[in-house]
Structure 1
Amino acid sequence: MSSTTPDIPVLLLKTKSIPADGYHEIFAGWNNYLPTFLPVLEHRFRDNALTWLKNITSDRGFSSDTTTPTTSSFGGIIFTSQRAVEAFTAIVESLGPSTRDELLPEALPLYVVGPATARGLRSLNLKCQIIGEETGNGAALSAFMLDHYNRLPISQTVRQDRKLPLLFLVGEVRRDIIPKSLQSPDLPQGARIGVHEVVIYETCEMASFHIDFAHALEENVASGTKEQWVVVFSPQGCRAMLDCLGWLDESGRFKGQDTGSSPITTYIATIGPTTRDYLVKEFGYEPHVCAEKPSPEGIYAAIENYRSTNTRMQP
């Protein structure tokens, strides 16, 4: 590819994760891609929950201090979303550097569901063990935690004859597979792990998404590039995306892509089969690629494979 060729825009329909985002890293660093984040959902942290989390942390709720009341103590923390990582990041950054390792000790397990959550936590440079990223889903992570947590020394997981629960930072909309699995009545009483869920954030669709997406499309056309990619991460925003692209008929179904009416060709990639199937079922639209693995590497590989095998880039 010529160095004078304009960068290929990649519109990522998600909020950019902090403190690190794997999608930005992989697309900004390779092959003349230009990633842009367009949030579909708005995530709002609950101030009372953040205050509670900071107080629990500052009051040694995660440390090995045996004088801390067991009702305010936890043996580990579960992370299954980037928003939970961001909330935790805010708490960690509010702590004095000299006290972080004392309040969040090396023995404290931070359980994560995948590489994205693991990457965000590792960027904090804590001494805590960050584990579970290879599990990939709630069911597998639950099985992993049941095995791992129950193998830890009793001195770490039991205080004042009470098995310490795990803290689970969640959004207002979430699946309950982890709490149910860890506290299943089918498990022996001693193997069960208590889970304390705290709703740390709430989610709603951004009212400005339609406008923001349309503006990004206009900018890409003005840049002179002949190709752009849109990466879809969830069903939210699909209708607005297709509508802005002019691909829906009056009944809300896909009417076809009129390649002759636009100077830029748009390609659609989905993070996985759930979003792909939603586009097919709801709108009759089949995206160009679907990532084999729901990760930055999976999306990047899917786009690269499509581009390398469709050299003329006809949709």
Structure 2
Amino acid sequence: MPPILLLKTKSSPHDGYDDFFSANDYTPSFIPVLEHRFHTENLAHVRELFASGAFDSNATDNPNGPKYGGMIFTSQRAVEGFAEMIGQHGLPLNPSTNLPLYTVGPATARSLTTLRNKHLPSCSIHGEDTGTGEKLAHHMLQHYNALHPDADPNPSLLFLVGEQRRDIIPKTLMDPSLPDDQRIPVEEIVVYETGEMGSFEGDFRSAVQGSGEGVLWVVVFSPSGCEAMLRVLGLGPFAGNGNGDGGGDGRKVFVATIGPTTRDHLRSKFGFEPHLCAEKPSPEGGWGGDTEVYGGTGAVD
């Protein structure tokens, strides 16, 4: 099988991509692109919200119902930061509190399920099959409003985010064109920062040079690191510059993206068309039901 380089940090304790590729006789290599720093003060504030009864409909200081009716997680980093805060300081919570936890994509849902089972057993998880923030937002408009048919306004949703994020979810849920009783207030709290690792380009170059000859697959998970990736491979605007380690010796290099956001970034900024875009942001999504996709020597041209 051809080597596969996954441009992401390997998730802990289990990584769905590692499990999936290994089960299909591949040995994927993980090249971390991003480093994450948790906002401990903001995470402490989230804990204070739970301690104050802001999520508890039975709290004596909430005569009009809870301030928050649920939470939104669209990244594993947000789940990890929340889990780390709980692990260090605990989470004051009425055991009967049943909060909907909304997520997008199976990988984040798996991390959230582990956290829920350990710390929030009465909560429920929704949206894991939506795949994009826009689809998740429309799912929430139906599901969350059905949970609060008589509320006007709805209790807010707390959205734990990184400092770099798209605003499609808050814009969709708080769209002024929606009826007042259908609009869902969203409060965002930044719980982590993300930056490209200074060592990424060198680490990636070493991995490419050590991957042998023949077919090579590179799977990209976010716009971060795309320029360095193309530069190392000598693809897109860097083709023919003589410095690439990808195709100059005749080897076939294929680039796959986990979802349309990264694909569109490669198209618009670098004029590069990835060979494959996953139908869903999941390990299975890139295969399209065909386990020969990554093994071929041109199946996705």
* Counterparts of 1:71 and 1:176, CA distance in 2: 27
Cα displacement (A) at 1:68: 4.5
Matched, 1:217 2:211: no
- Retained in 1: the 8 A contact 2:220–2:255? yes
Could you tell me which amino acid in structure 2 is paired with residue 259 of structure 1? Answer: D
2:232 aligned residue (221, 228, 244): 244
Residue deviations 1:33-66 (CA, integer Å, cap 9, x gap): 1122222222221121111122223444333332
Alignment of 1:55 with 2:48, yes or no, is yes
Give CA deviations for 1:267-291 in whole Å, capped at 9, x if unaligned.
3222244434544565555444332
2:2 maps to 1:11: no
Matched, 1:259 2:249: yes
Amino acid at match of 2:113: R
8 Å contact kept, 1:113–1:133: yes
Q: Does 1:268 align with 2:255?
A: yes
- The aligned counterpart of 2:278 is 291
Alignment counterpart, residue 207 of structure 1, candidates 189, 198, 202: 198
Counterpart residue number, 2:139? 144
> What secondary structure does 1:259 align onto?
coil
* Contact 2:232–2:245 (8 Å) recurs in 1: no
Q: What code does the residue aligned with 2:254 have?
A: Y
Q: Percent sequence identity over matched residues?
A: 49
* C-alpha deviation, 1:149, in angstroms: 1.9
Q: Could you say what the CA RMSD is over the residues aligned between the two structures, in angstroms?
A: 3.5
Moved more, 266-275 or 36-45: 266-275
Runs of 4+ in 1 over 6 A off after TM superposition: 250-256
Match of 1:90 in 2: 84
- Alpha-carbon distance in 2 for matches of 1:54, 1:304: 44
Give yes or no for the alignment of 1:25 onto 2:39: no
> Cα deviations across residues 257-312 of structure 1 (Å, max 9, x unaligned)?
2335xxx754322224443454456555544433233321122448833355549x
Structure 1 pair 310–212 and aligned structure 2 pair: CA distance change class (3 A): closer
Residue 119 (1) aligns with residue 79 (2): no
Q: Secondary structure at the match of 2:58?
A: coil
The letter of the residue matching 1:297 is E
Change (3 A) 1:253 1:290: farther
CA distance change for structure 1 residues 192 and 239 in 2, over 3 Å: closer, same or farther? closer
Contact map agreement 2:5 2:218 (CA 8 A) in 1: yes
Match of 2:58 in 1: 65
Q: 1:109 aligns with which of 100, 104, 122?
A: 100
Structure number with greater Rg is 1
Unaligned runs of 5+ in 2: none
Q: How many residues align?
A: 294
Structure 2 distance, partners of 1:303, 1:208, is 34
Q: Which secondary structure state, in structure 2, belongs to the residue aligned with residue 118 of structure 1? A: helix
Deviation at 1:19, TM superposition (A): 4.7
Q: Which runs of 5+ in 1 are unaligned?
A: 1-6
Contact 1:270 1:291 in 2 (8 A): yes
Q: Give me the TM-score of the superposition, normalised by structure 1.
A: 0.77
Q: Match of 1:131, as an amino acid?
A: H
Determine if contact 1:269/1:303 at 8 Å carries over to the other structure. no
Q: In 1, distance between residues paired with 2:178 and 2:106?
A: 29
SS of alignment partner, residue 83 of structure 2:
helix
User: Whose helix proportion is higher, 1 or 2?
Assistant: 1
